[in-house]
A and B are shown apart, each in its own frame.
Chain A
Amino acid sequence: MASLKLHGLPMSSCTTRVMICLHEKGVEFELVPVDLFTAQHKQPDFLSKNPFGQIPVLEDGDLTIFESRAVTEYVSKKFKDQGTDLIRQDSLEESTLVKIWAEVESQQFNPVINPIIYQFFVAPLQGKSLDQAIIDENLEKLGKVLDVYEEKLGKTKYLAGDFYSLADLHHMPYIFYFMKTPWAHVVNERPKVKAWWEDISSRDAFKKVAEGMKFGDN
């Protein structure tokens, strides 16, 4: 029986961020579904695991960890000797570059792609009409961020260097959904970014998780 329990859903971006990592490390885990539609995530039992009432949450014995990027860091460190080396701790330079580009995902990329994904996929489910102004504003910002990526990926194969790492992995759920929107050209117009996405999304660990990412499919 798996000792790791991941509370979340197979189509949730933040849950899949963790699942891709678990698969890259070859770590067994149990996915425990959380019923968002009956607001299970706002009930006391779940709030005792994550007081912010969000998925995912990882339970490993007596440790309860939330915030997907804290979970991926924990998994990458704990299982550093198996699977893909996602954090490059043996090299000061490489591990520092991973940290920098993971922060870039967190601080530059996530804030501008998140509103687009929300407007296109989530707002309609809540009975709201899509706010094109928000989309347009963030598409412009996303383009500028990806211009920096285009230049970086002209120098290195992946974001932190010539090695796949958490810095690349953290981007994957939102890019996957973004490529299903009418604005995928923002990625496709940038050849290095496009090639990078095609490369990382062809990884086995990602393909296993992408099967469950049915948000937006009819």
Chain B
Amino acid sequence: MAVMKLYGSPLSSAVWRVLASLYEKGLDFEFIPVDMKSGEHKKEPYLSLNPFGQVPAFVDGDLKLFESRAITQYISHEYADKGTPLVVPGKPMAIVSVWMEVEAHQYDPLAGKLAWELGYKPHFGMQPDHAVVEENEGKLGKVLDVYEARLSQSKYIGGDTFTLADLHHLPTLSFLMDTPAKKLIESRPKVSAWVADITSRPAWCKVVEFRKQH
């Protein structure tokens, strides 16, 4: 049986999102690097895996997938009986879905911009745009206030157990913790404890190790 293939760059936070789910589930896979510097992701044959020319792409047998959150959901449902349960049965899954959407629409647009300005740009030798940083830190602070209240009522963001709703945050969260924006997290005790908890998970530590080795 062909092993699952994950295509992408070790620098991509969307790739880390998928890696986290693969490690949580203890699944075997092959990582196939895509040379983004030479534009491999914008040409065939890669475009037949992801027509938007972005990473990651994922192949499991006959199925070709892209969009990291579609891939993590596929992995979580198809391999539900392996490793950590990342989705839950019944009505509570509706609430997990709510907070997965919150990550995608309330949190990630802001955290992603901050990660770009404060994380990626310096890596590429560019200067952060301080106006953009200030604006997005303000907005993200308000979102994290909602998270602070939520995490006072719920152990994890989607419910009582660790699920995809938490996992989807990991790439940008861990990025932000290496930048001055970490103050937004550290100033909120419940958020801070939640971040400390989920970033210390063995599967996430494996992702961090993977990044270091590539």
* Cβ–Cβ contact A103 & B51, under 8 A: no
* Cβ–Cβ contact A148 & B65, under 8 A: no
Residue of A nearest to B67 (CB): A103
Query: Could you give, for residues 106-119 of chain A, a 1 whenever the CB lies within 8 Å of some chain B CB and a 0 otherwise?
Result: 11100100000000
* Cβ–Cβ contact A151 & B51, under 8 A: yes
Which one, A21-29, A92-100, A128-136, A195-203, is touching chain B? A92-100
A145 to B54 CA separation, bound complex (whole angstroms): 12
Residue of A nearest to B103 (CB): A67
B1-57 CB contacts (< 8 Å) to partner A: 51-52
In the complex, number of A-B residue pairs with CB atoms less than 8 Å apart: 65
* Contact of B161 with A by CB under 8 A: no
A9 to B29 CA separation, bound complex (whole angstroms): 46
Most A-side CB within 10 Å, residue of B66, B105, B106, B150: B105
Residue of A nearest to B60 (CB): A96
A73 to B87 CA separation, bound complex (whole angstroms): 14
A52 to B101 CA separation, bound complex (whole angstroms): 12
Instruction: Give every chain A residue within 8 A of B149 (Cβ-Cβ).
Output: 51
A151 to B95 CA separation, bound complex (whole angstroms): 35
* Cβ–Cβ contact B100 & A70, under 8 A: yes
A41-55 CB contacts (< 8 Å) to partner B: 51-52
Instruction: For the complex formed, measure the closest distance between the CB of B166 and the CB atoms of chain A, giving whole angstroms.
Output: 16
Q: Is the interface of A mostly helix, strand, loop or mixed?
A: helix
Instruction: Give every chain B residue within 8 A of A108 (Cβ-Cβ).
Output: 52
* Contact of A36 with B by CB under 8 A: no
* Cβ–Cβ contact B52 & A70, under 8 A: no
Neighbour of A100 across the interface among B67, B78, B102, B109, CB < 8 A: B67
* Cβ–Cβ contact B94 & A74, under 8 A: yes
* Cβ–Cβ contact A100 & B65, under 8 A: yes
* Contact of B73 with A by CB under 8 A: yes
Given the contacts A51-B149, A99-B73, A100-B65, A65 and B98 also touching, CB distance less than 8 Å: yes
* Cβ–Cβ contact B91 & A63, under 8 A: yes
* Contact of B84 with A by CB under 8 A: no
* Contact of B208 with A by CB under 8 A: no
Query: Could you give, for residues 76-102 of chain A, a 1 whenever the CB lies within 8 Å of some chain B CB and a 0 otherwise?
Result: 000000000000000011001001101
* Contact of A66 with B by CB under 8 A: yes
Neighbour of A93 across the interface among B63, B67, B97, B104, CB < 8 A: B63
Given the contacts A51-B146, A67-B105, A100 and B70 also touching, CB distance less than 8 Å: yes
Instruction: For the complex formed, measure the closest distance between the CB of B21 and the CB atoms of chain A, giving whole angstroms.
Output: 14
Instruction: For the complex formed, measure the closest distance between the CB of B188 and the CB atoms of chain A, giving whole angstroms.
Output: 14
Most B-side CB within 10 Å, residue of A67, A102, A151: A67
12 contacts between A and B (CB under 8 A): A52-B102, A63-B91, A63-B94, A63-B95, A69-B101, A73-B97, A99-B73, A104-B52, A106-B105, A107-B67, A108-B52, A148-B52
